[in-house]
Structure 1
Amino acid sequence: MHTHQNESAFDVIVVGGSYAGLSAAMQLARARRRVLVIDAGRRRNRHADRSHGFLTQDGAEAAAIAAQGRAQLRAYPNVAWANETAVAARIDGDGFDVALPDGGTVRGRRLILATGVADTLPAVDGLEERWGTSVFHCPYCHGYELDEGAIGVLAAGEASLHQALMLPDWGQVTLLLNGAFEPRQDQLAALARRGVAVERTPVARIEGRADVVLQDGRRLPLAGLFVATRTHIASPLAGQLGCALETGPMGPYVATDAQKASSVPGVFCCGDLARPAGNVALAVADGALAGIAAHRSLIPELAVLA
């Protein structure tokens, strides 16, 4: 999109066209509002081939779910799409200006941010290239396919305890402390009750599918490896607008109310950007909430119901 839009062009601009953004835009499209979706095409789960646990789409290709949603949304004549990165956003009077890389700006009366988060993995040789194929963070998304095999949890901090205590429902678990932290006695007892082995020898590298090679030369063959990533907000827009943040176990996220409104009037946030952890189903639900709330906020007469 290289043209400047007129000042009243869009009722709502949705930044981020993955599952949450698509869901938000769909509600607004069906409310016959003028919507612009700005999307750079970098879904958080782009490294995963299959998506699991999303009703009617269990086992479908993750990219295919997004592509189908995109095609259905773009069939609405009141929806515009920009394959761009939104580089800046600012409040301007009773609306918002969003800057695009070519120097152009677009204007919307409301703004929905669905820009997601980016994952930072521990610095272990061989880990990053297996992310999404044999190294995971969500057992509900990937645990069942490991067929109750040997599972590793690579500690990145105390949040990894949560993974280690959950994952025995999916297989035989080894918690690889890797110097990240030392569990307390009560935590060790809980791990023992769940049948989790604790390995203190540091990890040298990951080989094969998800084989862990320890620094003493031992090799632990695994069906899959889980790691609690650190996350950071992928886009600067929420920060530029002054949206209040909260800190979760994995990293910061935007604080919202039950209708996905941020602390900045007229700005709604949804998906992984606005929750401590999530998945496709939760992103779609969050997006629907944000889209409906943004639409209702455009109808001032609804205030008489408050």
Structure 2
Amino acid sequence: MQTLDAVVVGGSFAGLSAAMQLARARRRIVLVDGGRPRNRFAHAAHGFLGQDGRTPAEIVQLARGQVLAYPTAAFRTDEAVAARQEDGAFTLQLASGDTLRARRLVLATGIVDDLPDVPGLRERWGRTALHCPYCHGYEVADGRLGILATGEMDVHKALLIPDWSADVTLFTNGVLTPTDEQAAMLASRGVRIEARPVEALVGDAPALAGVRLRDGGVVPLDAVFVSSRTHMASPLAEQLGCAFEDGPFGPVIVTDARKETTVPFVFAAGDAARSNHNATFASADGVQAGASAHQSLAFPHWPPAPPR
């Protein structure tokens, strides 16, 4: 079996950015992706310099073509389902039954959103049920906006949303009780607090007409922000023994400043390896992970000693 210089698992913003650095270093790499990116529900990507307003799929298609223009890079439409380290290299088992072997591994496998069990939410996810105000707030600006609480972090989000609209409601939904200080801050920002439990999102999906409360009342809304819980989209990091830490929304792969995990020569980038998520963060992580993976191949001693 041919031993590659690196395999990059995950072909969205982080993985493609990592692959670009390795391909430009003329290293033999394979990029493996199963075609189910987290952002596939979003109509457009925003706040990504040079790509604002394009669909995530368009950005990925363009970037993949640019990476594959380098002769040492190859792409596999497949899913990496198992990984092990043996004899100084990593062996990946693919869903197709094929096997890849590489000296370095970059995990850009992403995460999966676990949405609250609220009828009408899933079919609006990425359209009028939104995660990030920086990604989508401008597009729903001046509308009737809500925040469906899933935890303490939603007070922070509710304090931000009034910069996009003067009509904002925080639905505590039985999972959040603002303190007196928090309630005062929310009031100073013009945020209404609705404590009655939410029963469903209503309207002609994916459009949103409002939130129906358990007592039958309806609060008119044009969009609602929801902080999902998350879990890893891939078992590879756990199989390899990488350490995790608890992030505000779910587990995060532990990495150092070079984006190397606690397992030597395994690097991780993107949403699976950071708590703050957006396209630019993911791409920057990928650049760092790809460059670090290359340097670990080039330097006789890794990691290099810090400069004196």
With the length of structure 2 as denominator, give the TM-score of the two structures: 0.95
Q: Return the alpha-carbon distance in structure 2 between the equivalents of residues 41 and 86 of structure 1.
A: 12
Query: RMSD in angstroms over aligned alpha carbons?
Result: 1.3
Name the structure 2 match of 1:3.
none
Deviation at 1:157, TM superposition (A): 1.3
Structure 1 stretch displaced more, 266-275 or 54-63: 54-63
Which one of 70, 76, 84 corresponds to residue 70 of structure 2?
Answer: 76
Which one of 166, 185, 188 corresponds to residue 183 of structure 2?
Answer: 188
The 8 Å contact of residues 243 and 254 in structure 2, kept in 1 or not, is answered as yes
Deviations 1:68-96 (A, max 9, x none): 11111112111111100100001112110
Amino acid aligned to 2:229: R
Q: Return the alpha-carbon distance in structure 2 between the equivalents of residues 93 and 304 of structure 1.
A: 20
Please, which runs of 5 or more residues in structure 2 have no aligned partner?
none
The total of aligned residue pairs comes to 300
Q: 1:263 to 1:304 in 2, by over 3 A?
A: closer
Name the structure 2 match of 1:86.
80
Q: Return the alpha-carbon distance in structure 2 between the equivalents of residues 152 and 300 of structure 1.
A: 52
Q: Return the alpha-carbon distance in structure 2 between the equivalents of residues 163 and 154 of structure 1.
A: 10
Does 1:125 find its partner at 2:124?
no
The 8 Å contact of residues 200 and 211 in structure 2, kept in 1 or not, is answered as yes
Name the structure 1 match of 2:151.
157
The 8 Å contact of residues 296 and 302 in structure 1, kept in 2 or not, is answered as no
Deviation at 1:303, TM superposition (A): 5.5
Q: Return the alpha-carbon distance in structure 1 between the equivalents of residues 119 and 36 of structure 2.
A: 24
Q: Return the alpha-carbon distance in structure 2 between the equivalents of residues 295 and 191 of structure 1.
A: 48
The 8 Å contact of residues 78 and 96 in structure 2, kept in 1 or not, is answered as no
Amino acid aligned to 2:191: V
The 8 Å contact of residues 110 and 271 in structure 2, kept in 1 or not, is answered as yes
Q: Return the alpha-carbon distance in structure 2 between the equivalents of residues 58 and 121 of structure 1.
A: 26
Q: Return the alpha-carbon distance in structure 2 between the equivalents of residues 303 and 245 of structure 1.
A: 22
Aligned partner of residue 206 in structure 1, secondary structure: strand
Name the structure 2 match of 1:274.
273
Deviation at 1:304, TM superposition (A): 10
Amino acid aligned to 2:174: G
The 8 Å contact of residues 14 and 25 in structure 1, kept in 2 or not, is answered as yes
Aligned partner of residue 231 in structure 2, secondary structure: strand
Please, which runs of 5 or more residues in structure 1 have no aligned partner?
1-5
Q: Return the alpha-carbon distance in structure 1 between the equivalents of residues 294 and 13 of structure 2.
A: 18
Which one of 105, 129, 135 corresponds to residue 135 of structure 1?
Answer: 129
User: 5 Å matches for 1:5-24?
Assistant: 6-8=1-3, 10-24=4-18
Name the structure 1 match of 2:232.
233
Name the structure 2 match of 1:221.
220
Deviation at 1:52, TM superposition (A): 0.5
Q: Return the alpha-carbon distance in structure 2 between the equivalents of residues 99 and 147 of structure 1.
A: 46
Name the structure 2 match of 1:261.
260
Q: 1:26 to 1:304 in 2, by over 3 A?
A: closer
Q: Return the alpha-carbon distance in structure 1 between the equivalents of residues 159 and 225 of structure 2.
A: 12
Structure 1 stretch displaced more, 288-297 or 68-77: 68-77
With the length of structure 1 as denominator, give the TM-score of the two structures: 0.95
Name the structure 1 match of 2:141.
147
Q: Return the alpha-carbon distance in structure 2 between the equivalents of residues 222 and 153 of structure 1.
A: 10
Q: Percent identity?
A: 53
Name the structure 2 match of 1:42.
36
Does 1:203 find its partner at 2:198?
yes
Does 1:242 find its partner at 2:241?
yes
Deviations 1:233-287 (A, max 9, x none): 1100000001111111111110111110000000000000100121011111000
Q: 1:264 to 1:195 in 2, by over 3 A?
A: same
Name the structure 2 match of 1:32.
26
Deviations 1:149-189 (A, max 9, x none): 21100011112112111111111210001111211111111
Q: Return the alpha-carbon distance in structure 2 between the equivalents of residues 297 and 78 of structure 1.
A: 18
Q: Return the alpha-carbon distance in structure 1 between the equivalents of residues 300 and 151 of structure 2.
A: 50
Amino acid aligned to 2:99: T
Q: Return the alpha-carbon distance in structure 1 between the equivalents of residues 13 and 302 of structure 2.
A: 30
Deviation at 1:300, TM superposition (A): 2.8
Structure 1 stretch displaced more, 55-64 or 130-139: 55-64
Deviation at 1:297, TM superposition (A): 0.1
Aligned partner of residue 258 in structure 1, secondary structure: coil
Name the structure 1 match of 2:288.
289
Over 4 Å off, 4+ runs:
302-305
Q: Return the alpha-carbon distance in structure 2 between the equivalents of residues 77 and 167 of structure 1.
A: 46
Deviation at 1:103, TM superposition (A): 2.7
